[in-house]
Amino acid sequence: MSGAPAGGRVGGVGKLIRLRRDPVIEARAVPRIVLPRPSSLEVSELAWLAEGVSRQSALAIPAVTACMKLIVGTATQLGVYRYRGAERLEPGPLITRPDPSTTWHATLAGTVDDLVFNGRAYWLVLARDTEGYPVQARWIPFDDVSPDTAASGGAYSELRGYRIAGVRELVPPGDVIRFDAPFPGVLQTGGRTLAAAAERADAARRLSAVELPAGVLKNEGTELNETEADELVARFSANRRKYGIAFVQGVSYSREALNANDLALVEGLANDATEIARLFNVPVAMIAASPSGSASAMLYSNLPQQKALLVSSAIQPYLVAVESTLSAVAYPRGTSVAFDVQTFLRADPEAAAAYAIALWTAELVTREEARSFLGIPTLPTDPTTLAPGKV
């Protein structure tokens, strides 16, 4: 490496080696190193990697907001239970109200939001039980947490602790519950799609505010100066508004055909909504998009299938991240946490009845269990056991 020029680029893109300034080396004739020129594909990839979209900028895109409302809103509607084997346990404060200053739904919403956008979420442990397991924890926004690591020379680094909200004191790793999504966040993998959608939305907003002329007056006679031309246009417009027609002499009038789709970039915006739905794994019909890029409606007949696809593809990966982390870190071995997804999928009464009947017909459940799925008490019916809103 001694033959490389100071501050030169060696080996490829992004590898910089800066040598110590030595007058002997500088005075010596140094052979010139010719570097291979990066391909256009590499330049394009580096440009898109450098382009980033913040969470606030992404949420300014209506399709992103619609996808996040579906994912976070559905996750917060699901019940969560704690099990040990086949026994259901009392949920406890960690999955009912982990943060005494807010609700479980707010904590879960922030956690899922961070998992979707950044691929990682954090809880700060506030209190523990007598056995040392967390009983209270607070969700900390992703941007407020900075891991303090020491390089180990490999792919993994030694985690020393966390700095939260700029506090100088280092929080030990054991006092922070870290949730990891199974894949990188949308802001990391979808920067190109989100940036293009944001630029198109800005272009549509700019063009929608531009006043284009409804017609053009073309002078076919003596050339007019600027003042005379303004007077001619003003007189023409005034007579047209007053009489519905206007008389022009030496001037021809042509009407311009304006298309609202061209002004608002409707087709481009619809295509962006479709691409964003694919980015979030949300069924395109649930945000009024379609695979072809044009808007489409979601029919009641396919609502159960759309809901099942939403949960399995867009929400379930983040639910598994929360379930597996809490089961492994926050509770003793053998205790599991699970979200009640089936209740949400059976929110449609007709689909719920078909689900229960199919299980009972296949002899997978008993008649009493099938009735319990629908909220119907077992016979004999006791009116006092019927809950409001249930059959």
Q: Is the pTM of this model over 0.95?
A: no
* pLDDT of 13 strictly over 90: no
Kindly state whether residue 248 falls inside one of the protein's structural domains.
yes
User: Are 251 and 270 part of one and the same domain?
Assistant: no
pLDDT tens readout for residues 322-377: 999 999 999 999 999 999 887 676 666 676 788 788 888 988 888 888 877 776 66
User: Are 195 and 337 part of one and the same domain?
Assistant: yes
Q: Are the beta carbons of 79 and 339 closer than 8 angstroms?
A: yes
Kindly state whether residue 116 falls inside one of the protein's structural domains.
yes
Kindly state whether residue 78 falls inside one of the protein's structural domains.
yes
**N-term to C-term CA, the chain:** 80
Q: Are the beta carbons of 275 and 200 closer than 8 angstroms?
A: no
Closest alpha carbon to 76 in 113, 126, 122: 113
Q: Give pLDDT, residue 258.
A: 59
End-of-domain residue from the set 257, 274, 293 = 257
pLDDT band per the 50, 70, 90 thresholds, residue 263: low
Task: Report the C-alpha gap between 125 and 122 in whole angstroms.
Answer: 10
Q: Give pLDDT, residue 37.
A: 46
* pLDDT of 26 strictly over 50: no
Residue 156's domain comprises 52-212+266-345
Kindly state whether residue 341 falls inside one of the protein's structural domains.
yes
Q: Which has more confidence, 249 or 55?
A: 55
Task: Report the C-alpha gap between 340 and 149 in whole angstroms.
Answer: 37
Kindly state whether residue 33 falls inside one of the protein's structural domains.
yes
The string of DSSP letters for 336-356 reads EEEEEHHHHHT-SHHHHHHHH
Sign of the alpha-carbon torsion through 345, 351, 352, 355: negative
